[in-house]
Amino acid sequence: MLLYIILYNVLTVDADTKCISHEITVVPKYYLIEKCHRSKLGVASKANFSTLNSCRRLALEKKALALNFSPSGYGKIGRKPVEYTCEVLKCAESEGGLSLKNDTNYDYYSIYAKHLPNVNSCCVPLAGMFYLLSEKNNYTEAERRCRNMSSVLAGVFNQHRTDTLAQVLASSGVEAAYVGLGSSNGRVFRTTHGDSLDCITYRAWAPGHPRKNLNMSCVVPLLR
C-alpha cells in the first residue's frame, strides 16, 4: 500500500504549524440514536455491565462504532432478562438500516451523532463508516460535499485505514479518490484538521513522493 500524489489542486489551509489533533484528545462519545432499538450488526464484544459508562469504556477499548445497552429496569416486566446488557458493535447503522430492530430491552448508541445517510456507505469494521462519492470534483468541492454530509475527507493516518480504504476503492473499481491530505504549495501536506504531516508518524509514500515543486497537491491511496 503506497500513497501517490497524482492530482492537481489547490487546497487553502491556514498557515499554522501546530499539531492540532494532538492537542485535543478526541474521544468518541457514543450518542443515543434510538431508544428501544437493538442493532444486529456484528458484535465485537459483549459483557454484563450495570452502567452505560462501563459499556462505553468497553466500546472505546474495542474501537467499536456503536453499541446496544440494556439499562437496569428494561425488560423486567413479563420479559426474559437479557443475556448481556452491553453489546459493542463493529459497524454503525446507516439510515433505514434493516439490522436496527425494535427491542424494548435495549437502546442503540453510535459514535456518529446523526443517522448516517444510506448512499454507498461502507463499513470498515472497527475503523469507520466511509462513503465513496462518485461525482468527479475538485478537492475544495470534495471537502464541501463531505461537510454537507456532516463528515470530512477520510484521514489516512494509519496502515489499517489506508489499506482498507484502498480496498474500498479497488472493490468499487475506482482508480483514485481524494483523502484528507492536501497541500497548497506542494511541500507542506496537511490533514483536514490542519495538522502538518510532521504531526503524524505514519508514512506510506510511494518512492519519490511527495514530489517537491510540482503543481500536484493531493494524495490518493492506491492498491499496489
The verdict on 215 binding ligand NAG (CB under 6 A) reads: yes
Please work out the total of residues on this chain that contact ligand NAG, with binding judged by CB under 6 A.
12
Give the one residue of 83, 136, 173, 203 binding ligand NAG; rule: CB under 6 A.
83
10 sits near ligand NAG (criterion: CB under 6 A): yes
Residue with cell 428494561: 74
Backbone phi, then psi, for 102, in 5-degree steps? -60, 130
Strand partners, 196: 190
Q: Classify residue 25 by burial, with Cβ atoms within 10 Å: 0-12, 13-18, 19+.
A: exposed
Is residue 187 within 8 Å of 196, Cβ to Cβ? no
Nearer to ligand NAG, 18 or 147 (CB): 147
Nearer to ligand NAG, 48 or 172 (CB): 48
Task: Report if residue 48 touches ligand NAG, rule: CB under 6 A.
Answer: yes
Rounded least distance, CB 76 to ligand NAG, Å: 10
Residues near 151 by beta carbon (within 8 Å), at least 6 away in sequence: 131
Helix ranges (DSSP H) in the chain: 20-23, 52-61, 139-148, 159-171
Please check whether residue 182 is in contact with residue 218, taking contact to mean a CB–CB distance below 8 angstroms: yes
Residue 15 interacts with ligand NAG (CB under 6 A): yes or no: no
Is residue 81 a contact point for ligand NAG (CB under 6 A)?
A: yes
Binds ligand NAG (CB under 6 A): choice among 148, 158, 171, 172: 148
Binding window for ligand NAG (CB under 6 A); candidates: 133-141, 158-166, 170-178, 193-201:
133-141
Q: Interface with ligand NAG includes 12 (CB under 6 A)?
A: no
Handedness of CA 198, 201, 202, 207 (dihedral sign): positive
Q: Is 43 among the residues that bind ligand NAG (CB under 6 A)?
A: no
Where does this chain bind ligand NAG (CB under 6 A)? 10, 48, 81, 83-84, 102, 138, 140-141, 148, 214-215
